A and B are shown apart, each in its own frame.
Chain A
């Protein structure tokens, strides 16, 4: 299923999307497909799989540590493409790759997107690629039928947002706070304000998903009821993996259970649109 279709289906059911992030190859490549399946069983609507990078400057300590585990386990971009291809055989939801631009640049932008497309990757998120530098990337992504998920931030002025929306497909990834990825106690007032500010510009154009610091069911509920089309949960799942991978079957159960309560919170969508 494409990303657009996934959001369309959810909209019909009046639900928001639960988008779950894990780092590919954490704790090792053979674990990732089963981790993804556990999250899907719990109700994740879209899965983001990170290609680990040595210097993940947009990430907080939890995801940094997962990158280190994955790299130490020998994970490469090809490993992650393999994982996606395998997962896609059994799971009919969109899979999105998240990485840093050097991983793409090093392989060659065209070659990277061809590999992504051949592995049935539905979309790509690049943490450090603003629209100004993205023309070549966008062209190759379009050619290969891969969605380009761009980021917007609380600091993004409306004229920039317009440029971003022209390039964005799949969904718009709204960074909810000033900062890096990681769990936070509360959803900031700023997050709500930003959703309300941006939402009128995305509606009927591209779904709006909110990430960074969304780690509890009540956070998911807040951003969805505020008007977001999806909530992105990363560090909370990655932290579980870090703490529990020693007992892998137990971990899978916990991931499913946690995804379930997070998913439940996406059904709190208000009726205002």
Chain B
């Protein structure tokens, strides 16, 4: 493969995907954001601050852990886990929120808004804003607020205001709609801190850049620990930020196979899933041209996944591009398979994973069957599972 042609996506395009499909009111704000980002990205002072907060506040680098028990159980390649569950807040989300909150502050914005599904991005935004002295307001679907009460309380403890969203399916996509409506109203004073590699340009690029710290660390660590690059990397894909984060620094390494795993929910044929790349079609949604779950008339469908973090009908445009050129293989695993992986990792490795990366773990198990013992497989363990224990207990019929 030649160079990463889309390193800086001209016009915000990854091949034919991406772009900016927003109200005219927001166009100047997106241009301002792009300009500011390109400036601060190269600014030594900004880079120094980002490094400081990533190390001292977020706890980076996170370890690349050799999962000996899982390796033995799978009976195939050496399994390594990139421990994003150990980052501050319990997920990779903090990498992006620290970066964007610093950017907001550098741009002189005082108010930050964000959307959240499961609440992880909301919590990470609230943490970053508290640390940097910014006011955070979080939009969250009323349905999700019920499912994730603990995270709502965490956000409030961190000083954020949480706005319930009652429109549509009252989940993540509606929270994004509402955040966009807020932004269009308050665009002069407000920074919209998007939580994944989705939305209009430059967001997919900005979030990718801040999340690619995962992949750069992984690269360095595996070279130290194994003296070579891995044979395969697996990550779960909802909007796709943890996946892009770990994939991006390996895109040009043709020998490293990349796998993105979507939520098949109750099965792709059931129609109750969130697998935009595997079962969706091209569409324009939330400001981007990408794969989306929609009906024949272009109405966006409601999605289902056991994991709230993957429960989204769109996906980042760069993933659509990577699918189109065949660089990343996308597949999907069901709620059931993810749940099995949840229990397995907890017992075998003493790590309770979030349900999102359980999709990657479940897929890694299948992949391992086809790989040999001298190969290396890295799974991005994008978050810890404390937030999911209630969902899992319910699912198992256990009262806690």
Contact = CB atoms under 8 A, between A and B. Distances in A.
B29 to A, nearest CB: 7
Interface in A170-188: 175, 178-180
Nearest to A177: B185
A63 to B, nearest CB: 11
A132 B22 CA distance: 11
Interface string A119-145: 000000001111011000000000000
Interface stretch (A153-161, A198-206, A228-236, A255-263): A153-161
A105 interface: yes
The dominant DSSP class at the A interface is loop
A83 interface: no
Given A57-B177, A77-B297, A155-B187, A128 B287 contact: yes
A160 B20 CA distance: 15
Residue of A54, A56, A127 contacting most chain B CB atoms (<10 Å)? A54
Nearest to A99: B298
A156 B181 contact: no
A91 interface: no
A30 B289 CA distance: 33
B181 A60 contact: yes
A177 to B, nearest CB: 8
B46 interface: no
Contact of B21 (A53, A133, A150): A133
A180 B284 contact: no
A46 B19 CA distance: 32
Residue of B24, B25, B174, B180 contacting most chain A CB atoms (<10 Å)? B24
The dominant DSSP class at the B interface is mixed
A265 interface: no
B285 interface: yes
Interface residues of A, number: 40
B23 A103 contact: no
A103 B283 CA distance: 9
Interface in A67-113: 71, 76-77, 100-107
Contact of B300 (A55, A61, A130, A157): A55
Interface of B: 11, 19-25, 27-29, 167-168, 173-174, 177, 180-181, 184-188, 282-287, 289, 292, 294, 296-300
22 contacts: A54-B299, A55-B173, A55-B174, A57-B184, A57-B286, A58-B181, A61-B167, A77-B297, A77-B298, A103-B298, A105-B282, A105-B283, A105-B284, A128-B22, A128-B284, A150-B24, A151-B23, A155-B29, A156-B28, A160-B28, A178-B25, A179-B185
